[in-house]
């Protein structure tokens, strides 16, 4: 947790657009996200606040950190944050690339070197699918407007494009419709 190298290189994230600002929804979403992703612990500024994973902690500190186990079985650090912009709440869970590259050298200098593009889907696709499953659990408790998965995703990304750098999840009658990244 305290190794600065873990937190370098940008981040790969699950970004949830919750909808109209609502502290109760955000609270349920934070708690559900942390539980669904299997995040262990919660630290703020080096202090363990594991019993306080809620909207109050998130709004007070703006940022939470923990660890989780990836589908590969590897443990990595992670972080969470929320934003409220134009009365819309969003919530993010991110995995720093510095930590990810330590457990999978194939990630290399993604997204800034030869490890980028379609070839990166070999490691991104399973991670995206897992994060999509996490989003589906959150959606079961707090309906999402949309979710994006990728490198420092842009919430205004074109979700209908044939060439997508981020995976996209949109509500459907069956839950969430998963549209994988294609580039």
Specify the pLDDT at position 52: 58
Specify the pLDDT at position 170: 94
Inter-residue contact 108 to 114 (CB < 8 Å):
yes
Q: How confident is the model at residue 46 (pLDDT cuts 50, 70, 90)?
A: low
What would the mean pLDDT of 20-25 be, rounded to a whole number?
A: 94
Is the pLDDT at 53 greater than 90, yes or no?
A: no
Nearest Cα to Cα of residue 65 among 96, 36, 88, 90? 96
| pLDDT tens string 75-130 | 999 999 998 889 999 999 999 999 999 999 889 889 988 778 888 999 999 999 99
**Taking the domains of the chain in order of start, what are their residue ranges?**
4-179
What does the block give as tokens for 147?
């979710």
Inter-residue contact 100 to 12 (CB < 8 Å):
yes
Q: Quick one: CA torsion of 172, 176, 180, 181, rounded to 10 degrees? A: 100
Specify the pLDDT at position 131: 98
Specify the pLDDT at position 128: 97
What does the block give as tokens for 154?
């842009």
Per-residue b or e along 103-133, where b marks 16 or more CB atoms closer than 10 Å to that residue's CB:
ebeebbebbeeebbeeebeebbeebbebbbe
Specify the pLDDT at position 146: 95
Which of these ranges, 6-10, 46-50, 109-113, has the smallest mean pLDDT?
A: 46-50
Rounded to whole angstroms, how far apart are CA atoms 82 and 103? 27
**Phi, psi at residue 164, to the nearest 5°?**
-115, 130
Assess if CATH 3.30.530 describes domain 4-179: yes
Separate counts of helices (H) and strands (E) for the chain: 4, 9
pTM above 0.75, yes or no: yes
- More confident of the two residues 154 and 140: 140
């Amino acid at each position: 947790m305290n190794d600065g190298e873990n937190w370098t290189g940008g981040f790969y994230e699950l970004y949830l657009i919750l909808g109209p600002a609502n502290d109760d929804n955000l609270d349920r979403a934070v708690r559900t996200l942390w539980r669904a992703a299997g995040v262990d612990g919660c630290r703020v500024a080096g202090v363990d606040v594991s019993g306080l994973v809620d909207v109050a902690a998130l709004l007070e500190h703006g940022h939470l950190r923990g660890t989780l186990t990836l589908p590969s079985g590897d443990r990595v650090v992670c972080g969470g944050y929320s934003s409220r912009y134009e009365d819309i709440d969003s919530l993010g869970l991110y995995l720093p690339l510095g930590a990810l590259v330590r457990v999978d050298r194939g990630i290399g200098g993604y997204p800034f070197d030869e490890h980028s593009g379609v070839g990166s889907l070999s490691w991104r696709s399973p991670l995206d699918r897992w994060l999509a499953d996490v989003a589906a659990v959150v959606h079961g408790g707090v309906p999402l407007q949309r979710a994006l998965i990728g490198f420092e995703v842009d919430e205004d990304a074109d979700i209908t494009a044939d060439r997508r750098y981020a995976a996209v999840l949109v509500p459907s009658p069956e839950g969430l419709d998963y549209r994988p990244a294609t580039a």
